[in-house]
Each structure stands twice: as structure tokens, then as C-alpha cells.
């Protein structure tokens, strides 16, 4: 009888766990969803802070008007986590494009172009299979005049016997390619306190 009762309880728990439904959340409004590792809210904050600082500094203003052409350089991940730095870059790019100050080239990037089609389409110039009037001509691409590089750093510090402080540094540099001079630099620090049992990698 006890065995049957135990089996029944196990089955009830299993069924209950399986019937719990997923739900949507808004990380920006639910402070209870803070994680020890880098999450989307951290990328949002770092991107928003960086773009606001860039715009406020005047580094993206052009005396004759128009937009800067930005190329993405190396963004180094110096954390204990395997993160996709393109999540940060994409948020920055969206905000910069919406600012009207910058366009981003996808044909030039550190490590190779983001969109290889820009160059591959030019290989059609000598192909007899394509109407040459529809093939892009020479001297059409626009070279970048600005470059964005940076680094994401993680530092863990013991707070007490059961908690740790985790600091994430989002460091970015905007460089004028012609001169090699940094026109803007910014750093956003995201600090969290979590249990030593929380994994930050």
C-alpha cells in the first residue's frame, strides 16, 4: 500500500511538472530575472550607454553634414563566458543607424566581411551568363572612415563566505581610420552580487 501511494505521488509530481506552461517575460521590468552571467539586459544597457555617450561627445558630428561610414573591428571577449559579442554590436549598430549619424559597412570588417555577397557579386563581371548591364560597376563601394573596437572584461571578487561580486566592463573605442586617432572611448560597468553557487561562465 505504501509503495502504491509513493508511486502515485511521484506520478502526480511528474504530471504537474509537465503541465506547467512557459510564459513571456520582460527583463527590463522584472528585476527578479537578473542573472549572474551576461544577459540581454546587460547588452541593452551597454549599447544604450555607449551610443548616448558617443552622440553627446560630438564625435559623430560632421561639419559638412552627412553620415560617417563605420566598420566593425575586433570586439574581444575577455570573460569566463562563451558569449556572442555580435549581440552587443548589433544593438549599437541599430541605435547608431537610427541616430542618422552613421551607416555601417558590411563589406569590410576585421576578420572578413560580414556580407561576402558584396564582393562575390562583382565576380559576375566577366560571366556570359549574366546581363552585364545589371552587374554592379567599379568604384561603387564606399570605404569606412570610422572603426569601432572594444573589449568585454569580467572580474569576480569574493564579498563574504557565501556571495561574490561580478563586474562586467564593456569598453569601446571609436577610431578615425585615416589618422588612427581615437575620437571617442567609453566604458559601461555592470556590477552584480550573486551566491558563490551561481555560475558566471
Going from the N-terminus, what domains does the chain have, and what CATH number goes with each?
35-122+139-195 (3.40.50)
Q: What is the rounded distance in angstroms from the CA atom of residue 179 to the CA atom of residue 142?
A: 18
Q: What pTM value is reported for the model?
A: 0.79
Measure Cα distances from 151 to 15, 29, 73, 74, 154 in Å.
Answer: 46, 28, 11, 8, 10
| Residue 7 confidence (pLDDT) | 60
Q: What is the rounded distance in angstroms from the CA atom of residue 179 to the CA atom of residue 146?
A: 10
Within 10 angstroms of residue 105's Cβ, the number of other Cβ atoms is 20
- Tens of each residue's pLDDT in the chain, 201 residues: 555 655 655 555 554 555 567 766 665 566 556 788 888 889 999 999 999 999 999 999 988 889 999 999 999 999 988 989 999 999 999 999 999 999 999 999 999 999 999 999 999 998 999 999 999 999 999 999 999 999 999 999 888 888 899 999 999 999 999 999 999 999 999 999 888 776 665
Cell 544597457 locates to 45
Which three cell numbers mark 20?
506547467
- 180 sits in the region (left: phi over 0; alpha: psi -120 to 50; else beta) called left
Amino acid at each position: 500500500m505504501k509503495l502504491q501511494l509513493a508511486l502515485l505521488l511521484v506520478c502526480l509530481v511528474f504530471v504537474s511538472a509537465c503541465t506547467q506552461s512557459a510564459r513571456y517575460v520582460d527583463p527590463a521590468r522584472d528585476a527578479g530575472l537578473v542573472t549572474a552571467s551576461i544577459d540581454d539586459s546587460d547588452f541593452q544597457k551597454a549599447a544604450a550607454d555607449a551610443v548616448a555617450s558617443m552622440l553627446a561627445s560630438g564625435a559623430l558630428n560632421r561639419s559638412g553634414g552627412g553620415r560617417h561610414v563605420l566598420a566593425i573591428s575586433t570586439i574581444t571577449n575577455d570573460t569566463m563566458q562563451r558569449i556572442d559579442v555580435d549581440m552587443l554590436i548589433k544593438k549599437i549598430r541599430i541605435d547608431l543607424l537610427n541616430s542618422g549619424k552613421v551607416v555601417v559597412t558590411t563589406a569590410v570588417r576585421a576578420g572578413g566581411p560580414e556580407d561576402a555577397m558584396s564582393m562575390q557579386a562583382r565576380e559576375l563581371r566577366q560571366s556570359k551568363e549574366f546581363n552585364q548591364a545589371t552587374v554592379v560597376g567599379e568604384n561603387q563601394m564606399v570605404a569606412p572612415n570610422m572603426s569601432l573596437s572594444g573589449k568585454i572584461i569580467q572580474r569576480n571578487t569574493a564579498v563574504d563566505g557565501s556571495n561574490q561580486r561580478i563586474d562586467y566592463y564593456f569598453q569601446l573605442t571609436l577610431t578615425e581610420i585615416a589618422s588612427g586617432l581615437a575620437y571617442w572611448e567609453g566604458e559601461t560597468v555592470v556590477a552584480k552580487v550573486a551566491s558563490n553557487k551561481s555560475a558566471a561562465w
